[in-house]
């Protein structure tokens, strides 16, 4: 198991930016795909972005493509989500997740075996 702790959420006006961080501990971070998911009030948890263990590939939901950027620093066991041009519909709890298997690739919730506690992002209009 890996422990994940998100930070960086908060309240921002539409058009603004936030950077989320997720610090990992407990296993070899660099072997696992990392992802960000989000859950808006009354809705299911949705995929937002993912990055492979070597950072050679990134994946984004259509709703965030061109505005969000996922990155990772394996030396710091940390994954980031840079969110620009935020919209009110980006309001959600954002969760960091670690892949279920080493070197695995996936963008579905079932592909991830460890989850953080979430950080709230609120975008005001």
The predicted structure's pLDDT at residue 103: 84
Question: How far from the centroid of its chain's Cα atoms is residue 24's Cα?
Answer: 12
- In order, the DSSP letters of 28-97 are -GGGS-EEEEEE-TTS-EEEEEEE-TTSS-EEE-TTTTTTEEEEEETTTTEEEEEE-S--GGG-EEEEEE
The predicted structure's pLDDT at residue 1: 75
Both tokens of residue 64? 């965030």
10-residue stretch averages of pLDDT, the chain, 125 residues long: 94 98 90 96 96 94 98 96 98 96 89 96 97
The predicted structure's pLDDT at residue 27: 75
The predicted structure's pLDDT at residue 89: 97
Inter-residue contact 32 to 53 (CB < 8 Å): yes
Q: How many CB atoms lie within 10 A of CB 70?
A: 21
């Amino acid at each position: 198991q890996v422990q994940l702790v998100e930070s960086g959420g908060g309240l921002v006006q539409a058009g603004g930016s936030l950077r989320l961080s997720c610090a990992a501990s407990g296993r070899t971070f660099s072997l696992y795909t990392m992802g960000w998911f989000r859950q808006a009030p009354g809705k299911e948890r949705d995929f937002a972005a993912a990055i492979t263990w070597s950072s050679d590939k990134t994946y984004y939901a259509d709703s965030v493509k061109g505005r969000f950027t996922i990155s990772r620093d394996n030396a710091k066991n940390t994954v980031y989500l840079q969110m620009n041009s935020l919209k009110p519909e980006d309001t959600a709890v954002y969760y960091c997740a670690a892949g279920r298997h080493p070197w695995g690739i996936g963008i579905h919730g079932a592909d991830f075996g460890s989850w953080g506690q979430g950080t709230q992002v609120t975008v005001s209009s």
